[in-house]
A and B are shown apart, each in its own frame.
Chain A
Amino acid sequence: DVKVTQSSRYLVKRTGEKVFLECVQDMDHENMFWYRQDPGLGLRLIYFSYDVKMKEKGDIPEGYSVSREKKERFSLILESASTNQTSMYLCASSGTGGGNEQFFGPGTRLTVL
């Protein structure tokens, strides 16, 4: 079974803090994604990576950066957390082709106070 794990299920941070969200997949997938999920807005793509050290901006990249130094790990960084970044963050991975099914992690619910 494909497994996508995220470093925390729940996280509480203060405004201005630097926040790291980690995602690891064990299926040797080339593609990895970070989404945020907010009620009524569905899943919005923040960044994705199609290879090690490669990244592309999604639909809402402002305030975020990413890092992919190893194929199995994709990190989302909030350089200076703000209250409007309080959300559920979901990581996903997929094989080659970009249209292949995505496997999601359990999500991290981040609260910024």
Chain B
Amino acid sequence: GQQVMQIPQYQHVQEGEDFTTYCNSSTTLSNIQWYKQRPGGHPVFLIQLVKSGEVKKQKRLTFQFGEAKKNSSLHITATQTTDVGTYFCAGRGDTGRRALTFGSGTRLQVQP
């Protein structure tokens, strides 16, 4: 079945440093979504990417979808303590499966 791998599993940065998490799928994706889960909270939708090579920005966050539509990345510029949480990618394959497959997540810790 479809697998979505996410690295790193955990990252600890100093406030102001950049951060990147990577997502790789075993199959081609029709779209990919990113979610953020704050400590003690539930996942909250951030963005969806659909097109090959697509790049979207939300303030300090930059999301990319690979040309082959099998990988994606989330980059945060100049991290802040409010960025703390776990970031999940979730992909929907082009095999007809209705549901998303979530990656294992990257937990980000930001040291003030």
Contacts and interface: CB of A to CB of B under 8 A. Distances in A.
Interface in B44-87: 44-45, 48
Interface stretch (A39-47, A67-75, A77-85): A39-47
Given A42-B88, A42-B104, A99-B92, A48 B98 contact: yes
A106 B1 CA distance: 28
A59 B45 contact: no
Contacts of A50: 98
Interface in B10-56: 30-31, 33, 35, 41-45, 48
Interface residues of A, number: 25
Nearest to B31: A99
A102 to B, nearest CB: 7
Given A50-B98, A99-B92, A42 B45 contact: no
- A-side interface mostly: strand
A103 B98 CA distance: 16
B74 to A, nearest CB: 15
Interface residues of B, number: 24
Contacts of A107: 42
A50 B99 CA distance: 10
A33 B33 contact: no
A99 B48 contact: yes
A98 B99 contact: yes
B109 interface: no
Contacts of B104: 40-42
Nearest to A106: B42
B110 interface: no
A26 interface: no
Contacts of A56: 98-99
Given A33-B99, A42-B6, A45-B101, A103 B45 contact: yes
Nearest to A35: B102
Contact of A43 (B30, B41, B43, B48): B43
Interface of A: 31, 33, 35, 40-45, 48, 50, 56, 58-59, 90, 92, 98-99, 101-107
